[in-house]
Chains A and B, each alone.
Chain A
Amino acid sequence: MNSLHRLAALIVKEFTLILKDPKSRFVIIGPPLIQFFVFGYAAVYDVKHVRYAVLDQDRSALSRELLASLSSAESFERVAQLTSTTQIDRIIDHQKARLVIHVGPHFSRNLMNGEPALVQVIVDGRNSNVALIALGYIGDIVGGFNQALAGRMASGRSAPGLVSVERAWFNANLESQWFIVSGLGGLISMVVVMIITSLSVARERESGTFDQLLVAPFTPAEILIGKSLPGVLFGMLDALLFAAGAVLWFGVPFRGTIAALVASLACFIITIVGVGLLVSSLSRTMQQALLGSFVYIMPSVVLSGFTTPVANMPGWLQAGTLLNPLRHIVVALRRIFLQGADLPTVWPQIWPLLLMACVTLTTAAWLFRHRTQ
């Protein structure tokens, strides 16, 4: 009874502190919103407005038809019409165009003669990802052109051979925004929770009030709960808000169950509260806590698969990412949003989180008392 009474006082105090301080209030709302939109719009791999130049030495109806199908594609933007091969170097080197489509002088003749007609595509590889994706698009367009050609010329003689029919599951139009935005709730709530919890203890340490708490009849468990609750609550709030934002603003589908979403987010946020408290136990000032959080957040984002696939990492590093809570929640969120996972399906992501929560929280509680200077 007494303990509950004390705990209530502590919790009321923690919330008042956060809500009264304009800077803390801002941390909960301002940067997360900015991050949500910047990530949502800037962190995309979709390739749009690819500036390209054309060198058509054939100047036939066929070559014009091929180039027309390219210019009608919305991902491309024609910026120049070249007249000689010597211009190619310059336009690519100077980044005036990101790719050049070169149709040779014998293009239509070869096609008519039944010989393969090659179209050269020169791509600026300085951003290899854009280069590959743009090449993929051009491959699609040329494939479409071939099929149309075959249909028109089908005088019954022979066939174009193999045609690939591709379908993408879970994200039919391959929108990379879905990929990024569905995991955003996890990332942003992590940043908020880390900052709220790590600073809340460090602030008290710096101003000396933490000693007051330790001398007062609070048990470590009570302090732990009191310090965790605001982080958990505000983290949850942010995460759910951005989950809703993903669906309503960015139009990401939500195919899984709410229960799975809430359960996995809750486990994740509790784990991160533990990490935040650990960081703050190890720092003496707010500045150290902030830099500590930064030093944790950065690799944790890089190694989470949030921006780049975990599958592309070397094997040993892939194994290491299993210790990263963010990796699990990002996987869980994508499975829930895009693949329609329910609670039992995301269990493989939830139990590692629970395990890590136990470790981080107990260590943090122990450090409260044993690392005071």
Chain B
Amino acid sequence: MSPSKLFFMRMRGMLRKEMLQIRRDPSSIALAVVLPMALLFLFGYGVSLDAENVPVAVVMDDNGPPARDLMARFLGSRYFHFRQAACVSEAQQWLAEGQVDGIVHLQDNLTARLAQGRPAQVQAIINGVDANRARLIQGYFQGLLQTWQSQRMMQGDAVARPMVGLAPRIWFNEAAVSRNFLVPGLITLIMTLIGILLTALVIAREWERGTMEALLATPLRRFDLLLAKVLPYFILGMAGMGLSLVVAVTLFGVPLRGSIVALFGLSAVFMLASQGFGLLISAAIRVQFVAAQISIMAGFLPAFFLSGLLFDLESTPLPIQMASHIVPARYFVAISHTLFMAGDLWPVLLPNTIILAGMATFFMVMAYRKISKRLE
């Protein structure tokens, strides 16, 4: 038989074997399907940075028309849920107990001062424990006041001084829904799990069970072995990505503005980089326990914290930013954010893809060199 025919026969055998094993082994299914789905739902529902219905106490010491008008605007906001407090001390009590996250105090001279054309103050106290949330609440609150003021200006209620107004426009994510950036980032995490953890575990398992020795003693070449281990889990990872994509778009309403072809193509590059890393781990480690430990420490944690999928990398100190450059997930988070929210912007996608492709090649070549047809 010709060498190529023998090669295809070997690949057929290995792939069939891997597929049967994946199908019959509950832990592969758990890692490849259950865990990603659990993560997706957890993130989709459990992780959100959008404050809505923030409970706020309002103390109205002034009952004039402008105060009541302002109040009506507050009540109509979807960001806040107002609760009227009798006095400032009651509101402060609520804040300390955690019943409300903020206090708005309309002082008794509000109407009078506005009528006199003097600046009137609205006091706001925010619970600053969760600083990010506090900032967002602050932003919403200022936005509310501003719209109210510009409306008053239009109506000519108060002859206001000329002033600078802001016309903000948030591109790609008009309503600034945090889910739109969290869920595409999460897909990175899921692919990392399958690519690194699962790939490293299945090979370590062959060593532990003694089946690797039987494989090595056959005419299987190193290249065959590498390919046979990459291909099935590559398909699994891409399937996980596809599934996540469907859930993200249909259930969570995340927009996909780029093309599906680009998404799958670039995901494939990232998947190969992850798998290369997983293979490298498994070439060095033949015990499942240690392989799992290293995959989590060196694969999962950096993909979570140093990739920008939740925390903004540009705001971190320089050493952390520098460290993040060796994390493949960082580049794919940028790719998936752009693809989902902005579209096929090749000037953004290309550099990231090139780096990922470089990493994939590097890891694969290293893994190929490390894979040995010998036991030592």
Question: Shortest CB–CB separation between residue A202 and chain B, in angstroms?
Answer: 9
Interface presence of B149 (CB below 8 A): yes
Contact status of A172 and B43, CB under 8 A, knowing A164-B122, A308-B48: no
Q: Is the CB of A44 within 8 A of B180?
A: no
* Residue in A42, A92, A113 whose beta carbon sits within 8 Å of that of B305 in the complex: A42
Report which residue of B45, B131, B149 has the largest number of chain A beta carbons within 10 angstroms of its beta carbon.
B131
Interface presence of A78 (CB below 8 A): no
Q: For the complex, what is the distance from the CA of A177 to the CA of B126, rounded to whole Å?
A: 17
Question: Shortest CB–CB separation between residue A166 and chain B, in angstroms?
Answer: 5
Tell me the residues in window 311-331 of chain A with beta carbons closer than 8 Å to chain B beta carbons. 311-314, 317
Q: For the complex, what is the distance from the CA of A342 to the CA of B117, rounded to whole Å?
A: 47
The closest CB in chain B to the CB of A176 belongs to B131
Q: Is the CB of B312 within 8 A of A168?
A: no
Contact status of A150 and B133, CB under 8 A, knowing A42-B311, A136-B138: no
* Residue in B98, B160, B176, B314 whose beta carbon sits within 8 Å of that of A131 in the complex: B176
Report which residue of B121, B127, B162, B167 has the largest number of chain A beta carbons within 10 angstroms of its beta carbon.
B162
Contact status of A125 and B176, CB under 8 A, knowing A111-B162, A169-B125, A302-B42: yes
Contact status of A145 and B164, CB under 8 A, knowing A128-B49, A309-B130: yes
Chain A residues, Cβ within 8 Å of B169: 120-123
* Residue in A39, A113, A122, A299 whose beta carbon sits within 8 Å of that of B42 in the complex: A299
Interface presence of A149 (CB below 8 A): yes
Q: Is the CB of B289 within 8 A of A116?
A: no
Q: Is the CB of A139 within 8 A of B139?
A: yes
Interface presence of B192 (CB below 8 A): no
Chain A residues, Cβ within 8 Å of B35: 295
Q: Is the CB of A172 within 8 A of B128?
A: yes
Q: For the complex, what is the distance from the CA of A49 to the CA of B320, rounded to whole Å?
A: 14
Q: For the complex, what is the distance from the CA of A212 to the CA of B269, rounded to whole Å?
A: 50
The closest CB in chain B to the CB of A160 belongs to B161
Interface presence of B317 (CB below 8 A): yes
Question: Shortest CB–CB separation between residue A227 and chain B, in angstroms?
Answer: 19
The closest CB in chain B to the CB of A303 belongs to B46
Q: Is the CB of A45 within 8 A of B132?
A: yes
Q: Is the CB of A179 within 8 A of B131?
A: yes
Tell me the residues in window 168-209 of chain B with beta carbons closer than 8 Å to chain A beta carbons. 168-174, 176-178, 180-181, 201
* Residue in A111, A121, A126 whose beta carbon sits within 8 Å of that of B337 in the complex: A126
Q: Is the CB of B131 within 8 A of A175?
A: yes
Q: How many residues of A contact B (CB 8 A)?
A: 101
Q: Is the CB of A45 within 8 A of B165?
A: no
One digit per residue, 1 when the CB lies within 8 angstroms of any chain B CB and 0 when it does not, for chain A 114-145 equals 11111111111111111111011011101101
Chain A residues, Cβ within 8 Å of B120: 159, 161-163
Interface presence of A360 (CB below 8 A): no
Tell me the residues in window 299-354 of chain A with beta carbons closer than 8 Å to chain B beta carbons. 299, 302-303, 307-309, 311-314, 317, 334-335, 338-339
Q: Is the CB of A169 within 8 A of B126?
A: yes
Q: Is the CB of A127 within 8 A of B348?
A: no
Interface presence of A249 (CB below 8 A): no
Chain A residues, Cβ within 8 Å of B135: 45, 132-133, 136, 174
* Residue in A44, A123, A169, A312 whose beta carbon sits within 8 Å of that of B95 in the complex: A169
Tell me the residues in window 324-345 of chain B with beta carbons closer than 8 Å to chain A beta carbons. 334, 337-338, 341-342, 345
Q: Is the CB of A39 within 8 A of B305?
A: yes
Q: Is the CB of A162 within 8 A of B145?
A: yes
The total of interchain contacts (Cβ-Cβ below 8 angstroms) comes to 332
Q: For the complex, what is the distance from the CA of A112 to the CA of B161, rounded to whole Å?
A: 10
Q: Is the CB of B166 within 8 A of A142?
A: yes
One digit per residue, 1 when the CB lies within 8 angstroms of any chain B CB and 0 when it does not, for chain A 95-121 equals 100100000000000111111111111
The closest CB in chain B to the CB of A88 belongs to B171
One digit per residue, 1 when the CB lies within 8 angstroms of any chain A CB and 0 when it does not, for chain B 32-69 equals 00010011001101111111101000000000000000
Interface presence of B163 (CB below 8 A): yes
Tell me the residues in window 200-235 of chain A with beta carbons closer than 8 Å to chain B beta carbons. none
* Residue in A129, A159, A164, A287 whose beta carbon sits within 8 Å of that of B312 in the complex: A129
The closest CB in chain B to the CB of A125 belongs to B173
Contact status of A314 and B167, CB under 8 A, knowing A127-B312, A170-B128: no
Tell me the residues in window 271-295 of chain A with beta carbons closer than 8 Å to chain B beta carbons. 285-287, 290-291, 294-295
* Residue in A46, A116, A132 whose beta carbon sits within 8 Å of that of B176 in the complex: A132
Q: Is the CB of B117 within 8 A of A158?
A: yes
Q: Is the CB of A118 within 8 A of B167?
A: yes
Q: For the complex, what is the distance from the CA of A175 to the CA of B96, rounded to whole Å?
A: 19
List residues of B whose CB falls within 8 A of some A CB: 27, 35, 38-39, 42-43, 45-52, 54, 70, 95-96, 98, 101, 113-114, 116-136, 138-139, 141-143, 145-146, 148-150, 152-153, 158-174, 176-178, 180-181, 201, 288-289, 292-293, 296-297, 301, 305-306, 308, 310-312, 314-317, 320, 334, 337-338, 341-342, 345, 347-348
Additional A-B contacts beyond A140-B142, A308-B48, A338-B128 (14; CB < 8 A)? A45-B312, A51-B314, A125-B174, A126-B173, A127-B308, A149-B163, A162-B70, A162-B149, A164-B123, A174-B131, A175-B131, A287-B288, A299-B46, A312-B51
Task: Report 21 cross-chain contacts, Cβ distance below 8 Å, ordered by A residue.
Answer: A43-B311, A45-B132, A50-B314, A116-B153, A116-B163, A116-B164, A127-B308, A128-B178, A128-B181, A131-B170, A132-B170, A149-B161, A149-B163, A159-B161, A161-B153, A174-B135, A178-B131, A303-B42, A308-B310, A311-B54, A334-B129
